[in-house]
Structure 1
Amino acid sequence: MYENKKYLAIAWILVLPALLIRVFTTIYPIIETFRISLYDVKLLRGINEFIGFQNYLNIFQDSKMITSIKFTVIFVVGSMIGHLVLGIALALILNMKFAGQKVLRTIVLLPWAMPMVVVAMASKWAFNNEYGLVNDFIRWFNPSFKLDWLIHATTASNAVIAVDLWKDLPFFAILILAGLQFISSDMYEAAKIDGAGAIRSFFTITLPLISKNILVLSIFFTMWRITSFDVVYAMTSGGPGESTALIAYRITTEAFTNLNTGYASSIAVVLFLIMALLSALSMRAAKRVDY
């Protein structure tokens, strides 16, 4: 018993430095962010006044923040619908047996391997009306087509969602493909003998067997979408106006542009609580997955 306690004490001593570093770099910033959110901190004006939960109430009275919340919801829902529909379709294509299958899988992953900032900056030029790749392609079918994608709120929002989808769709599809690899071909053969076609086999065999994978992936990808920042920062800078300013981008502008750190901290705390809830849901869903 003494020896066990001795080894346990040694283990704690060895682990303690890592734990202290973790506390300092993770727990302390969270606590400090919550503390600052209770103050009216405006660095430019030299204001540092305790105001309680007023910053949290201001979130729902700020028209710019309301716009950011609305676009974040549209961005997350639109992007995830695209990931689910197109990701599953792409995974099914990649799961087929054909010549050059491995080469195609490698090519498909290239967009995901590129940094989002690089993709967003390139997309900013691609959606240009005069010399953009997107309009050039459309003009093959409609020579008189003209549209400045990034100066109109609706088209700019659609462009941001499209770029995000193009960037991460391959990774989502590859993860779905991994689930498809575990489905035995004997099940499809038995369904074919029973007279089931490709569509019926998909809805009765494929989809039920990968539904748990889709659920877990959807939760994690939703969390990543909510905290997206770089695509808006590099592509539209939240414009036109504030129509494409995601919540994470709003936190950055409030903290580092407006130097309104108290208000920015309150937004960050709300976002943290949302992410904590989604993390709990993802862990609960992961436990239900049969590996």
Structure 2
Amino acid sequence: MISRKSQHWIAWALILPVLMIRGFTTIYPIVRTFINSFFDIRVLSGVNEFAGFNNYLNIFKDEKVITTLKFTVMFVLISMVLHVIFGVALAMILNMNFKGRRFLRTIVLIPWAMPAVVIGMAAKWAFNNDYGLVNDFVRWFVPGFQMNWLINTGTARAAVIAMDLWKDLPFFGILVLSGLQFISGDIYEAARVDGANGSQSFWHITLPLIMKNVLTLCIPFTLWRLTAFDLVYSMTSGGPGEDTSLIAYRITMEAFTNLNVGYASALAVLLFLVMAVFSYMNLKFMNRYND
């Protein structure tokens, strides 16, 4: 009979290979990125020198990165506000009792299930001025309408945010719907007896009861916005100029196109810190709400 101490060592021996593989594929890249961020590593020039904090200082001198950071913040904030507003509205609609409700709940997830690269490529065609679906629709009401959506800064940014919202809003709404279904109908019945109308029931019953669920969802959805890459890559390639470039896209371009590994590593560390700050802010806000 194997002793308890032997069983303990056998268990560790069995999981040790998995821990080693996980450590090599997760921890090592993170540590290596932090180390590389203090070196000037330019593959094309054959440079590999210690640079100290120069990579970090150069970030705030790089106009391309400044533009990227501004749009990343704009993208995250606007997208999340719209996700919350329209996500709750979508969840309320899907929670109504009507014929075909189950079918609608199923097909509404189709955009979320589609790869972002496919959506980006389709959007690139849809927003084309000459043969795009969007302008073709507008011309039904405004003959001769002309708009180069992805060439102008403001409309290109709006298009990227709109496509991001179109893709992930259904998933956000379905998750909010799961919180709505835990609210007992007896609460609404009691409110109706007390004379509350639909609007009052929403603001004083529905919204407070699902707010914890919504705030919890905001944490991963915010982090997903911060690391968004494929939609911009396939839709605008960061253009016009760098006006729709997100931080994850800029890191990829510096690392794999410009082969400026040290600078890309510094940007990746910056992204890590920004994600940590956003996570902390979300958690603090949620804890304050729970208190």
TM-score when scaled to structure 2?
0.95
Question: What amino acid is aligned across from residue 190 of structure 1 in structure 2?
Answer: A
2 CA distance for matches of 1:283 and 1:195? 36
CA distance in 2, matches of 1:102, 1:92: 14
Contact 2:127 2:135 in 1 (8 A): yes
Moved more, 96-105 or 266-275: 266-275
SS in 2 for 1:17: helix
2:158 aligned residue: 158
Instruction: Tell me the residue number matched to 2:134.
Output: 134
Q: Distance in 1 between matches of 2:186 and 2:207?
A: 16
Instruction: Please show how residues 1-291 of structure 1 align to structure 2 within 5 Å.
Output: 3-279=3-279
Amino acid paired to 1:127: F
Gaps of 5+ in 2: none
Q: How far off is 1:145 after superposition?
A: 1.4
Runs of 4+ in 1 over 4 A off after TM superposition: 277-290
CA RMSD of aligned residues (A): 1.8
How far residue 176 of structure 1 moved from its aligned partner, in angstroms, is 0.2
User: In 1, are the aligned partners of 2:218 and 2:282 still within 8 Å (CA)?
Assistant: no
Residue 109 of structure 1 aligns with an amino acid whose one-letter code is L
Residue identity opposite 2:198 in structure 1 = A
Match of 2:3, SS? helix
Aligned partners of 2:111 and 2:166 also within 8 Å: yes
Question: Contact 1:216–1:285 (CA<8 Å) still a contact in 2?
Answer: no
Unaligned runs of 5+ in 1: none
The structural deviation recorded for 1:174 is 0.2
- Tell me the percent identity: 63
- How many residues align? The count is 289
Partner deviation per Cα, 1:38-62 (whole Å, 9 max, x = no partner): 0011111111110111111111111
Normalising by structure 1, we get a TM-score of 0.95
SS at 2:49's partner residue? strand
What is the SS of the residue equivalent to 1:12? helix
CA distance in 1, matches of 2:89, 2:286: 23
In structure 2, C-alpha distance between the alignment counterparts of 1:278 and 1:66, rounded to whole Å = 19
Change (3 A) 1:288 1:97: farther
